[in-house]
Amino acid sequence: MELRLHNTLTRSRDALRPLDPLNVRMYVCGPTVYDHAHIGNARPVIVFDVLFRLLRRLYGAEHVKYVRNITDVDDKINARAADRGISIRELTEETYRWFREDTAALGCLPPTVEPRATEHIAEMRTLIERLVAAGHAYVEQEHVLFNVPSMPDYGQLSRRPLDEMIAGARVDVAPYKRDPMDFVLWKPSDMGVPGWDSPCGIKTPGRPGWHIECSAMSWRHLGETFDIHGGGIDLIFPHHENEIAQSRCAFHTGVMAQMWLHNGFLMLEGEKMSKSLGNFVTIRELLEEWPGEVLRLTMLSTHYRQPINWTRQGLGFAAKTLDKWYRVIGDVEAESGADNPFEHEIAERLSDDLNTPSAISHLHHLADVAEHEEASSALRRRFKGAANLMGLLTETESAWRARAKESVALDEATIGALIAERLAARKSKDFKRADQIREELAAKGIVLMDNKDGTTSWEVAR
């Protein structure tokens, strides 16, 4: 099976040819830890988790290395810590903990490595000194800057020719820049701001610029070149462009990563998500109302490169779908592995540039197939295994139902008593009272189901 992915570098759907199939390497830009992650942050986390799972299936779990960094040095962090009157370390630790909990709830596997920027300052200094030595960077007023014109083919990823960018530049050019396009690799730290020993003989302590951390961490954990680099579409310029400049010029390589993947933006109820307009929602807030799996299925219902419109309606669709699928699988164990033909069929759809909507469509079909096979649980086990490849249907129906029932306002005993009363009413043909109880519970989001064997069970309405 060939994995084809849309490569931003070539603007075409390219087959993945790992540099080393025994060590397939992927780097994804992770969060800056200063606040709760919002649902837009969840998109790359979920999308690249699906890719990670697919790569593990194609190349073997032990042959895939997935690195997602934690940025714990940044001016936003400094400002937030000061606002809250806590230390930077407290803020980043707390935020990182939240992030881990959120991503786990979304059903994402932990990456192979989650490196922190502050633990890679030495690598950053090494890179910076190499760039200066090679004539790609210079020291000015205690800053170290990357000299963009020193790299003739700068701009390949974003396809912005240099002269156009200079013409379009409308930012005030800092006096220490030789060229308007030059960007900061290292800058001095004032008192009260975290600082480390500076490179290049600069006496004042300093801190890294925005882009150098990813070059440093990908180098340390994946090498000078690797297979896949991912992130949000907004990172193409300048972040990824500058990462490429740093890494390629430091190592004298033709590429940094072979494949560059970018997920599209997220809108909220048709509006641009904007903190200043107040329309943004954190993962944590959504998790109070919906199981993480509902968020995950909702996110995967739209192809990763398309803009996604995040709506309550979409969440409702996903919840309803999962209700159905869990009913189909019951409490069976998943069948996973190369021998499961259903899983293979899903893998094929995912191999076509992570076509998750098509894969989900096929899961609907597989659910129908599995449901009709009353005699054997084998197909249900295969269906579950296929869904598991996307990180879906990872628990049992019992666990899923129990989770949904947690959110109900009434306690089990009260519901049970009302069900018993209704059964008695039905027995004595008092259908008026029976319907009254049904409506009473329905008003509280509870749906009653009269089973064939004479019992009555209940579920949470969607």
Partner RNA sequence: GGCCACGUGGCGGAGUGGUUACGCAGCGGACUGCAAAUCCGUGUACGCCAGUUCGAUUCUGGCCGUGGCCUCCA
Under rule CB under 7 A, residue 387 binds RNA: no
Beta carbon of residue 336, minimum distance to RNA (angstroms, whole number): 23
Beta carbon of residue 355, minimum distance to RNA (angstroms, whole number): 5
* Pairwise CA distance, residues 347 & 248, whole Å: 33
Tell me whether residue 358 or residue 377 sits nearer to RNA (CB atom): 358
- CB atoms closer than 10 angstroms to residue 288: 8
Beta carbon of residue 61, minimum distance to RNA (angstroms, whole number): 25
Q: Collapsing DSSP states into helix, strand and coil, what is residue 352?
A: strand
- Please give the residues from 194 up to 233 whose contact with RNA meets the rule CB under 7 A: 210, 231-233
Contact 39, 282 (CB under 8 A): yes
Q: Collapsing DSSP states into helix, strand and coil, what is residue 415?
A: helix
Beta carbon of residue 376, minimum distance to RNA (angstroms, whole number): 17
Tell me whether residue 18 or residue 243 sits nearer to RNA (CB atom): 243
Contact 209, 186 (CB under 8 A): yes
Under rule CB under 7 A, residue 427 binds RNA: no
- Please give the residues from 126 up to 185 whose contact with RNA meets the rule CB under 7 A: 158-160, 164-165, 168-171
Instruction: Show Cβ contacts of residue 53 under 8 Å, excluding neighbours closer than 6 positions.
Output: 109, 389, 390, 391
Tell me whether residue 99 or residue 226 sits nearer to RNA (CB atom): 99
Among 97, 324, 427, 444, interactor with RNA by CB under 7 A: 324
Among 327, 344, 403, 405, interactor with RNA by CB under 7 A: 327
* Pairwise CA distance, residues 385 & 103, whole Å: 21
Beta carbon of residue 222, minimum distance to RNA (angstroms, whole number): 18
Alpha helices of 275-377 — where are they, by DSSP H? 283-289, 292-300, 312-329, 341-350, 356-372
Of the candidates 292, 316, 306, 312, which has an alpha carbon nearest to the alpha carbon of residue 392? 292
Beta carbon of residue 93, minimum distance to RNA (angstroms, whole number): 18
Under rule CB under 7 A, residue 36 binds RNA: no
Under rule CB under 7 A, residue 447 binds RNA: yes
DSSP label of 236: I
Among 353, 381, 408, 418, interactor with RNA by CB under 7 A: 353
Q: Collapsing DSSP states into helix, strand and coil, what is residue 116?
A: strand
Q: Lay out the site mask for RNA across 71-110 (x = CB under 7 A, - = otherwise).
A: -----x----------------------------------
Beta carbon of residue 63, minimum distance to RNA (angstroms, whole number): 26
Alpha helices of 17-120 — where are they, by DSSP H? 39-59, 75-84, 88-105
Under rule CB under 7 A, residue 272 binds RNA: yes
* Pairwise CA distance, residues 44 & 30, whole Å: 9
Dihedral-angle region of residue 226 (phi above 0 means left; psi in -120 to 50 means alpha; beta otherwise): beta
Which segment (80-88, 127-135, 186-194, 447-455) binds RNA by CB under 7 A? Answer: 447-455
Q: Lay out the site mask for RNA across 290-309 (x = CB under 7 A, - = otherwise).
A: -----------xxx--xxxx
Which segment (195-203, 243-251, 412-420, 433-441) binds RNA by CB under 7 A? Answer: 433-441
Which segment (118-126, 196-204, 244-252, 257-265) binds RNA by CB under 7 A? Answer: 257-265
Tell me whether residue 376 or residue 451 sits nearer to RNA (CB atom): 451
Among 188, 205, 223, 357, interactor with RNA by CB under 7 A: 357
* Pairwise CA distance, residues 353 & 10, whole Å: 14
Reported for 99-104, long-range contacts at CB under 8 A and 24+ positions apart, including other chains, are: 99/31, 99/33, 99/37, 99/70, 102/36, 102/37, 102/42, 102/283, 102/284, 102/287, 103/42, 103/45, 104/292
Beta carbon of residue 67, minimum distance to RNA (angstroms, whole number): 15
- Rounded to the nearest angstrom, the gap between the alpha carbon of residue 248 and the centroid of all alpha carbons in its chain is 27
Beta carbon of residue 201, minimum distance to RNA (angstroms, whole number): 26
- Amino acid (one-letter) located at 175: P
Query: Which stretches of the chain bind RNA, using CB under 7 A?
Result: 11, 29, 31-32, 40-41, 43-44, 76, 158-160, 164-165, 168-171, 210, 231-239, 263-266, 272-273, 301-303, 306-309, 311, 313-314, 317, 320-321, 324, 327, 352-353, 355, 357-358, 361, 364-365, 368, 371, 426, 431, 434-435, 438, 447-450, 459
